[in-house]
Amino acid sequence: MTRDEWRKELGRRSEEVAAAFLQKAGYCVVARNCNFRVGELDLVVSSGETLVVVEVRSASTSYLATPGITVNRTKQRKIVRATQVFLRRSGLGYMRLRFDVVAVQWKGGEASVQWFRDAFRPESSAQAVSFR
């Protein structure tokens, strides 16, 4: 397996773990791996009238930087733009929107999960995500 294939597999497994973790916490998975020209969304989940866009970060080492560091402003902008496209195409009209990060740490084949709710917000009104 090449390094790129290994990283993709690690990401896929981490997204599965994150989805199962959030479902166990009472969230419903709305979408997975939404790829748009402007960016990608790993997971979109909902709870009540809140739609949550989840960026999944994974690592197989003992060190995983704070999600605020690993999800930099450039990545945040891409996620926000992809969310705008997702909302337009899906027709979902939730009252609240939140951006979370789920960090999955792998050690010895076992995953541990950290959930960072409201990890970031659109940085300007120009990036504000609009909904119905």
37-68 per-residue burial string, b: 16 or more CB within 10 A, e: under 16: eebebbbbbbeeeebbbbbbbbbbeeebeebe
Asked whether 37 and 82 are in contact (CB, 8 A), the reply is: no
Q: Is 109 helix (H, G, I), strand (E, B) or coil?
A: coil
Token pair recorded at residue 30: 């709305």
CATH topology of domain 3-127: Trna Endonuclease; Chain: A, domain 1 (3.40.1350)
pTM, full prediction:
0.87
Asked whether 63 and 79 are in contact (CB, 8 A), the reply is: no
The DSSP bridge partners found for residue 101 are 55, 116
pLDDT digits (tens, 9 = 90+) for 47-79: 999 999 999 998 876 555 555 567 889 999 999
| Intervals of the chain under pLDDT 70 | 61-69, 124-132
